[in-house]
């Protein structure tokens, strides 16, 4: 899940850079600027991000439980031998 979180963070940072670039180059009133801003700052996006964070945490917890009960990370060998 660390990789997934890193990808999401990098995507968010890229969108922030797009906003900064558009503003610095006189494109503050463009449709693409408005779209990127809406994605970064809308409440519905915040709600989706919160839901996504919950899903990631649930998946991480399930993964940890599966490791505790002996599920092997190597999917070609799903169960450790006793």
Domain ranges for the chain: 1-41, 43-82
Share of residues in the chain with pLDDT > 90 (%)? 30
The answer to whether the beta carbons of residues 40 and 12 sit under 8 Å apart is: yes
- What integer is the mean pLDDT of 37-48? 83
Q: How far is CA 48 from CA 17, 27, 41, in A?
A: 21, 27, 12
Tokens read off for 24: 């610095």
Burial class (CB in 10 A: 0-12, 13-18, 19+), 14: exposed
Q: How many CB atoms lie within 10 A of CB 55?
A: 12
The pLDDT value recorded for residue 78 is 53
Q: What is the pTM of this model?
A: 0.59
Average of per-residue pLDDT across 19-29: 94
């Amino acid at each position: 899940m660390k990789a997934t979180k890193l990808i999401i963070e990098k995507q968010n940072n890229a969108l922030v850079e797009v906003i900064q670039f558009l503003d610095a180059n006189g494109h503050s009133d463009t449709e693409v600027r408005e779209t990127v801003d809406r994605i970064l700052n809308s409440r519905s996006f915040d709600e989706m991000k919160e839901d996504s964070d919950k899903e990631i945490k649930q998946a991480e917890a399930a993964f940890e439980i599966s490791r505790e009960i002996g599920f092997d990370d190597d999917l070609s060998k799903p169960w450790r031998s006793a």
